Chains A and B, each alone.
Chain A
Amino acid sequence: MGLNLIQDGRHLRLLETYAGRYGYKPDQPVRIHTLGRFGIRVNGRALDAARGRQHKPLELLQALIAFGSRGVAVELLAHALWPDAEGDAAVNNFDVNLHRLRRLIGVAGLITTDGGRVSLDNTLAWVDVWAFERLLNETDRLLLLSRGRAVSKRVEHLFDQALTFYQDGFLAREPVRPWNLSLRERLRSKLLRHIVDIGQVAEDNGHWRSAIRFYRKGLEIEPLAEELYRHLMISYRHLGQYAEGLATYQRCRHNLATLLQIVPSKETEAVRASLLP
């Protein structure tokens, strides 16, 4: 497992600025980054976990977050992390590694167990996944309230911040495990759905540059989403950027042919035709 711990830098400061606005409180000593590179900061310092024995305790923390962070059954975690262990061995391994994890992070009360369930205390920890989902939920709430121009700007702003958190998939640089795959796919799917919805709101309000930014981000995440290519082409057309629109079409056509062995749909061809002189 590659434990690339987060180092100081401009990007981290930016993330922490948003973290401060969305859930991070100064008295939360632990910050955990899981979207892209995995990293932990305790009291502002990157955790030195580059030693071999930290592998499994940190995997336990990752699994706890993957299973929802709160009230996760010990047996569920134990059998996910030690699927081949027999008898009580998995739960014994869990106990040993929970002890190591607590000692490694060194923040009392961070991980609690109660009635066979484990929780990560959200008053002591900030996790990027939590902030990311909170932002997406907030955009959902605003979208339900109204589709007016003022709301649109607020939604786009919140969504931009959510995109800042989403550096890559959940634990994307860690080995694939059945327990991390589910959250990774759920977040990816949720983000793509939001890109389509909020891009449409931006379009409806004539915010074409915002729409373009959202669709391009969506295509970074999913280069085979034909709907995103089509909306990107439409956005370029509204800005009079016909060459960019046609280049987007070519990229769509190339990727569909290369990776899916299909050609663009009639809808996409119609948008292409509208870009021609």
Chain B
Amino acid sequence: MENYIVRVYRREEGDPEAVVGVLENVETRQQRVFHSLRGLCGMLACQPPSAAPASPDGTQAPDPRTPEPLADAGTGRPR
């Protein structure tokens, strides 16, 4: 059995597909970020997050000690 926690942090009004959140494998505590329902489903359908490579819709949650470059406000995602 595999156990996961799905946390949703943002939903786009009028676009049910646009969901931002984190999928966490509770055994390994490894987290992956998704930016769409398709991305989330892809993570669950393909491989456990601990083993899955980064995909277009789902990216490995980076180490918080190494910040990503910021995007312009209003675009939703960084460049």
Contact = CB atoms under 8 A, between A and B. Distances in A.
Contact of A259 (B10, B64, B72, B75): B64
A96 interface: no
B22 interface: yes
A269 B29 CA distance: 32
Contacts of A254: 67
B41 interface: no
B22 A259 contact: yes
Contacts of A224: 7, 9, 22
Interface of B is mostly: loop
A77 to B, nearest CB: 18
B22 A260 contact: yes
Contacts of A255: 64
B44 to A, nearest CB: 17
Contacts of A261: 33, 35, 59, 62, 68, 77-78
A181 B77 contact: no
B75 A263 contact: yes
A226 B27 contact: no
Given A257-B70, A259-B62, A261-B35, A176 B26 contact: yes
A259 B61 contact: yes
A263 B71 contact: yes
Interface residues of B, number: 31
Interface in B53-79: 59, 61-62, 64, 66-78
A44 interface: no
A269 B71 CA distance: 13
A277 interface: no
B33 A259 contact: yes
Contact of B68 (A181, A185, A225, A258): A258
Nearest to A181: B26
Contacts of A226: 9-10
Contacts of B21: 260
Max count, chain B CB within 10 A of own CB: residue among A185, A224, A258: A258
A259 B60 CA distance: 9
B77 A263 contact: yes
Contacts of B77: 261-263
Interface string A153-180: 0000000000000000000000010100
A4 interface: no
B47 interface: no
Contact of B76 (A225, A253, A262): A262
B70 A253 contact: yes
Contact of B20 (A176, A185, A225, A260): A260
Contacts of B26: 176, 181
Contact of A178 (B3, B33, B35, B62): B3
A43 interface: no
Nearest to B26: A176
Given A178-B3, A181-B26, A258-B62, A263 B72 contact: yes
A159 to B, nearest CB: 23
- 3 cross-chain pairs, A with B, having the tightest CB-CB distances, nearest first: A258-B67, A176-B26, A257-B70
Interface of B: 1, 3, 5, 7, 9-10, 20-22, 26-27, 29, 33, 35, 59, 61-62, 64, 66-78
